[in-house]
Amino acid sequence: MGDQARAWDRQDVAVRLQELVLESLDVGDFLGELAEYAAAFFSAPGIKVRCAFTVLRRKKSATVASSDAQARMLDEVQLAFGEGPCLVAMQEMSTVHVPDVDTESRWPAYMSALAGHGVGSILAVPLALEGEARAALNLFSPRPHGFSGEDITGGEEFAAQASKSLRLALHIAQLTEARNNLTAAMRSRTAIDIATGIIMAENRCGQEAALQVLKTASSLRNVKLRDVAVSVAASVCGDSALSTHFDE
């Protein structure tokens, strides 16, 4: 691939990654699409590069996405041995290049395990995440010396863009989770308020006394307070489906 074509591809990376964030259903889906895109980006006619993303969280590493089953296997074998380029890349936050698997003297157990799996060279590039979490982009080429100096630079630029997109995807996921939790809490509050009102009307008591009746029933039955409230409301209106009305 010529310099001009590859430079143009790099300009498109940021746009494509933003599209992946917006189009993906969740973080897992985003990473899967990202792995496939990375593999296609670094592949060339007749040379299929495979990709896997490894994440280190709470001192435990795991393969979270891959471009195909072979890439996942190659990465998980590395994690099983507890040694290899992607682990070093995450630990030292620096790019690790294995030009030729057959002549590589580092990580002998892992290199030996790769024999017969069609891996000629490896490129591992760290991704900067927030907090203590770390990640690495792992690229497997079927050819020895499959990654040129330009490819290594491109991999680092790709990883930098991917880091930004992954942080955005994680932030969106956190906001979505918070919104869903808030919606669930408001629905629970609606059911409890309705049931409290029913008990107040039937027993001619105050709000605190009615709420205590619900809490006592919840404790004695070992049932969630919201579920007790829903059953009280259903006993009056015959419908357990309670709607919460608020502006989105």
Which pLDDT belongs to residue 236? 74
Which residues are within 8 A (CB) of 26 and not within 5 positions of it... i.e. 6 or more apart? 173
Which pLDDT belongs to residue 247? 42
Pick 20 or 140 by higher pLDDT. 140
How many whole angstroms separate alpha carbon 1 and alpha carbon 189?
60
Reported as a single tens digit per residue, the pLDDT across 175-234 is 455 455 555 566 667 778 788 888 888 888 888 888 888 888 888 888 888 888 888 877
* 120 part of a folded domain: yes
Number of other residues whose CB lies within 10 A of the CB of residue 11: 8
Q: Domain check: are 132 and 15 in the same one?
A: yes
pTM above 0.75, yes or no: no
Q: Domain check: are 42 and 153 in the same one?
A: yes
How many whole angstroms separate alpha carbon 178 and alpha carbon 198?
30
Q: Report whether pLDDT(99) > 70.
A: yes
How many whole angstroms separate alpha carbon 133 and alpha carbon 167?
11
How many whole angstroms separate alpha carbon 111 and alpha carbon 101?
6
* 14 part of a folded domain: yes
Q: Domain check: are 160 and 225 in the same one?
A: no
* Residue that finishes a domain, picked among 137, 160, 176: 176
Q: Domain check: are 138 and 205 in the same one?
A: no
Number of other residues whose CB lies within 10 A of the CB of residue 42: 24
Residue 198, domain extent: 182-237
Write phi, then psi, for 37 (nearest 5 degrees): -65, -40
* 244 part of a folded domain: no
Q: Domain check: are 107 and 12 in the same one?
A: yes
How many whole angstroms separate alpha carbon 126 and alpha carbon 136?
4
Q: Domain check: are 168 and 123 in the same one?
A: yes
Query: Contact, 214 vs 229, CB < 8 A?
Result: yes
Burial code of 101-132, b = ≥16 C-beta within 10 A, e = fewer? beebeebeebbebbeeeebbbbbbbbbebeee
Q: Report whether pLDDT(170) > 60.
A: no
Q: Name the domain count of the chain.
A: 2
